[in-house]
Structure 1
Amino acid sequence: MARKKKITQQDILGFYMDFVLENNERPKSVYALAKAYNFEEQAFYNYFGTIEVLDQQVFLEFFNSTLEVLNKSEDYQSYDSRHQLLSFYYTFFENLTANRSFVKYILSQHSNQLKNLKMLSHLRKSFKSYVKGLHIDLPDFKNKQIDSIQTKGLEEAAWAQLLFTLKFWMDDHSANFEKTDIFIEKSVNASFDLMDISALKSLIDLGKFIIKEKSIMN
């Protein structure tokens, strides 16, 4: 049987995800992936250098498809930074949920070390750039060095919050993942309230929710 020659990057990512789900393991080599889905091995190298980078690209695609949806929304364009970030979270986790079996398989092997996962490096870079582009209002200290540190701190805090939400979602067994939606709302609102120095009520509300859900999950 002649092998497929017209293979796109999206095709390869789809083949890879299907392979992982069908075999409960990653392909051992590019050859194994190409053979399983009947395409020329050379086609793979038109887009990727090694098979190890596919996980990074898959998570970046989840991010890119999220922004693609948001950027088509007129409502999103009119939102303030708080509601734009909320919209990002809801849409991003809808994408993850549509591919939950794959995401859980890949991440469950490193669920306690998400922060250091190389496979999330592209997502981390793109998400931090997205947060920076939201132009979230921060206290103005009239000092470039302090303001720069504050901006970088905000990006790192936002990334840590995304990882924490990802871990919560992985452990969530509620119908339609409604508890993750609640967590997103409470955590994002608490973060913005902190920056507005009106944090206490939201922070306590978030803390009560986390304690309650952790006791249930455990």
Structure 2
Amino acid sequence: MHSSEKRTSKGSTIILSSKSLISLYVEQVLNQKEIPSRVHQFCYDHKINEAEFYAFFGSFEGIQLEIWNVFFKETMDLLETDPALSTYSDREKTIAFFHSFFQILAQHRDYILFALREYKEDLRDVRQLKSLRMHLKSFAEKLVRAEGNDQNQKDPRMSGTIFAEGFWLQTLFLLKYWMNDDSKDYTNTLNAIENSVHAIFDVFRSSPSEGVLDFGSLPWKKTGA
């Protein structure tokens, strides 16, 4: 992604990039407690030429999608700093992933709570999460393939496609759980991660085709934050 310099009215120079536009967008959303309605007004307020905005994003929805892309990338970057990662089982890698994911989200909690405020009861069809869904399902499928030479080879019913969908549904459950979690250091969410990962892996190992269908009825889901 290219970038360009932009001189403000006060004479200071900023680097206009997708990152800086995201920062301006998030700051405005948090300060004004509303989503900008027009690109023209947003650019006027921040002294940006509209053509420069459209060089990076086609709409505000593009920014919203990219924000979640960034969260995923930062999660993977954080996850890969673990020197023991290559020795983890698929179950342990999943737990480590979710720990990293919510560590990243915690840094942006106010924005996330606002951005998803209208969808807290059902996150499945939220448009701004659609690219995150693709990233997560791809990660889950790779996880299953990577384990194919040992554990999963012993259990050929462990389908990467089915597991990926279950992984996505589990992410949505945990995201909703975290949004309602007011425990210190999100201890309840961390416990939910551990319990849900073990539960869902046990379901997939025993009856993978039913894992996605019965996901919402697993016992641990009935305990709130």
What TM-score bracket applies, with the shorter chain setting the length? 0.7 to 0.9
Partner of 1:186: 195
Amino acid across the alignment from 2:199:
A
Aligned with 1:116: secondary structure? coil
In the alignment, what sits opposite 2:222? Answer: 211
CA distance 1:188–1:70, shift in 2 (3 Å): same
User: Any conservation in 1 of the 2:163–2:204 contact (CA below 8 Å)?
Assistant: no
Specify whether residues 32 and 4 from structure 1 end up closer, same or farther in structure 2 by C-alpha distance, changes over 3 A only. farther
TM-fit CA distance, 1:3? 8.8
| 1:144 aligned residue | none
Pair 38,75 (structure 1): closer, same or farther in 2 beyond 3 Å? farther
Find the aligned partners of 1:23 and 1:29 in 2 and give their Cα distance.
Answer: 14
Q: Which amino acid aligns with 2:180?
A: D
Match of 2:123 among 102, 114, 122: 114
Query: In 1, are the aligned partners of 2:43 and 2:49 still within 8 Å (CA)?
Result: yes
Partners of 1:73 and 1:175 in 2: CA distance: 24
Q: Which residue of 2 aligns with 1:6?
A: 15
- Cα distance in 1 for residues equivalent to 2:167 and 2:54: 34
Letter of the structure 2 residue corresponding to residue 51 of structure 1: F
**TM-score, normalising length from structure 2?**
0.81
Aligned match for 1:101, one of 99, 110, 129: 110
Aligned residue in 1 for 2:5: none
Q: CA RMSD in A?
A: 2.4
Q: Which residue of 2 aligns with 1:59?
A: 68
Q: Could you tell me the percent identity over the aligned residues?
A: 26
- Please, which runs of 5 or more residues in structure 2 have no aligned partner? 1-8, 208-214
Secondary structure of residue in 2 paired with 1:114? coil
Residue deviations 1:163-211 (CA, integer Å, cap 9, x gap): 011111111111111100000010011112223339xxxx9xx72x543
Deviations 1:105-152 (A, max 9, x none): 1111112231011110000001000001112526225xxxxx7xx322
Q: Distance in 1 between matches of 2:106 and 2:68?
A: 13
TM-score computed with the length of structure 1 as normaliser:
0.83
